[in-house]
């Protein structure tokens, strides 16, 4: 018998995957535009525009009131800080190492951190499928980093990518924690993005060069509206129904998208190790994306009142 929850789970997986595809275009778009604008200034402009539009689309007074629930404040502050850290570090990593490598390093870190956070904060047990899927994906990331993969490694850029991935992994855990407290994620996400943009906004005065050029305006428009407003809207719709570990692994779609776009539009030519890494990434995504088969469990008559009809699906 088909589990009635499977449709909702499938919809959640699709929402997170589409968000990940949109986010996978960030690095290639940044390199393709070639604006010369400072990455931190681009990140600030992206968050301010995307956070404002997302707020107009999703924030309601009732949702804002849920942000005042006991225990929500510290998770909201944490989500603001890691959102700002992600934007600053990720766009720096793209500039230093290229789109494919920066995205691979960042989002190869995400499932590990999100899985650890889920285990430490909510005692969420990773499934065997998550372990295998994440293992394949992380091995694929490693192959992308090997000499001969076609990537140009930069030490600072790789560190920035790791910090960006860790920040996003913590953001997933903070979002799950806010949801468990009854906070409206449709209000929490735009508040986090907008406040993170305000936190980084002084850099717009420090390094404003290149931001008003037509290519920069177009890039900020796409980053703010497509990858931030729409991306976070889809992500928040799906993340509440998925485990943090699974969500982190699904985010590995991003390096796959960035690699494909790099090959097609940026002239990047990954070698055999990178091709094998992309195949492993795809295999990992398939493993965690397929819905779990649920089996009916026969109840123990001793555990139920006489005459009661009981039954349950696997958790």
| Helix (H) or strand (E) segment spanning residue 136 | helix 128-145
pLDDT digits 0-9 by tens, 217-264: 999 999 999 999 999 888 888 877 777 667 766 777 777 788 788 778
Q: Measuring CA to CA, which residue among 286, 292, 290, 289 is closest to residue 140?
A: 286
Strand 312-313 and strand 296-297: pairing? antiparallel
What pLDDT score was predicted for residue 135?
A: 82
Predicted confidence at residue 291, as pLDDT, reads 54
User: Rounded distance, CA 97 to CA 106, Å?
Assistant: 12
In a domain, 71, yes or no: yes
Question: Which of 91-95, 122-126, 162-166, 299-303 is predicted with the least confidence, judged by mean pLDDT?
Answer: 299-303
Residue 276: per-residue pLDDT = 78
Q: What is the mean pLDDT of residues 1-7?
A: 49
- Reply yes or no on whether the pLDDT at 149 is more than 70: no
Identify the DSSP state of 223: I
Band (pLDDT 50/70/90 cuts) for residue 295 is: very low
Contacts of 91 (CB under 8 A, 6+ apart): 26, 30, 39, 40, 42, 43
Question: Tens digits of per-residue pLDDT, 63-103?
Answer: 999 999 999 999 999 999 999 999 889 989 888 877 777 77
Quote the pLDDT of residue 62: 92
- Using pLDDT thresholds of 50, 70 and 90, give the confidence band for residue 2: very low
Higher pLDDT pick, 147 / 178: 178
What does the pLDDT read at residue 296?
A: 44
User: In this predicted structure, which of 5-14, 28-37, 49-58, 285-294 has the lowest mean pLDDT?
Assistant: 285-294
Phi, psi of 33 (to 5 degrees): -70, -35
* Average of per-residue pLDDT across 280-287: 70
Assess if residue 1 is contained within a domain: no
* 314 has pLDDT over 60: no
Q: Which residue has the higher pLDDT, 172 or 29?
A: 29
**Structural domain of 272:** 9-290
In a domain? residue 41? yes
Q: Does residue 263 lie in a domain region?
A: yes
310 inside domain: no
- Tell me the pLDDT tens digit for each residue of 40-60: 999 999 999 999 998 998 888
Alpha carbons 212 and 142: distance in angstroms, whole number = 38
Q: What is the pLDDT of residue 253?
A: 79
Q: What percent of the chain has pLDDT over 90?
A: 29
For the chain, what is the radius of gyration of the CA atoms?
A: 20
Q: Which helix (H) or strand (E) element contains residue 206?
A: helix 202-206
User: Nearest to residue 222, comparing CAs of 70, 69, 25?
Assistant: 25
User: Which residues are bridge partners to 297 per DSSP?
Assistant: 312
More confident residue, 250 or 285: 250
**Joined tokens for residue 105:** 């390093």
Cα–Cα distance list, 29 to 42, 175, 227 (Å):
12, 27, 11
Q: What's the domain count of the chain? A: 1
313 domain-assigned: no
**Above 50 in pLDDT, residue 309?**
no
Exposure string for 102-126, b = 16+ CB within 10 A, e = fewer:
bbbbbbbbbbbbbbbbbeebeebeb
Cβ distance 79 to 175 under 8 Å? yes
Give the end-to-end CA distance of the chain in Å, rounded to a whole number: 15
Partners of 296 in the β-ladder: 313
Tell me the pLDDT of the chain averaged across its residues: 79
H/E stretch holding 296: strand 296-297
């Amino acid at each position: 018998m088909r589990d009635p929850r499977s449709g909702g789970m499938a919809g959640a997986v699709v929402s997170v995957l589409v968000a990940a595809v949109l986010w996978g275009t960030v690095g290639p778009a940044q390199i393709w535009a070639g604006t010369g604008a400072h990455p931190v200034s681009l990140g600030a402009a992206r968050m301010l525009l995307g956070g404002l539009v997302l707020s107009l689309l999703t924030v309601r007074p009732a949702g804002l009131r849920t942000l005042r629930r006991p225990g929500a404040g510290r998770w909201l502050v944490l989500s603001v800080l890691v959102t700002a850290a992600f934007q600053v570090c990720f766009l720096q990593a793209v500039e230093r190492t290229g789109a494919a490598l920066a995205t691979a390093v960042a989002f190869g870190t995400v499932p590990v951190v999100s899985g650890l956070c889920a285990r430490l904060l909510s005692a969420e047990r990773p499934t065997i499928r998550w372990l295998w899927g994440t293992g394949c994906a992380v091995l694929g990331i490693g192959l992308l980093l090997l000499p001969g993969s076609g990537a140009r490694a930069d030490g600072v850029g790789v560190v920035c990518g790791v910090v960006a991935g860790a920040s996003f992994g913590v953001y997933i855990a903070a979002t799950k924690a806010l949801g468990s407290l009854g906070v409206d994620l449709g209000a929490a996400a735009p508040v986090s993005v907008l406040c993170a943009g305000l936190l980084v906004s002084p850099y717009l005065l420090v390094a404003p060069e290149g931001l008003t050029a037509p290519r920069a305006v177009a890039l900020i428009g796409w980053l703010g509206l497509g990858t931030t407003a729409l991306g976070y809207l889809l992500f928040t719709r799906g993340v509440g129904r998925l485990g943090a570990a699974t969500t982190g692994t699904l985010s590995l779609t991003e390096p796959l998208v960035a690699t494909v776009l790099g090959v097609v539009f940026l002239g990047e030519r990954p070698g055999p190790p990178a091709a094998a890494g992309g195949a492993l990434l795809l295999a990992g995504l398939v493993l965690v994306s397929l819905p779990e088969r649920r089996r009916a469990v026969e109840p123990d008559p001793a555990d139920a009142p006489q005459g009661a009809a009981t039954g349950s699906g696997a958790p």
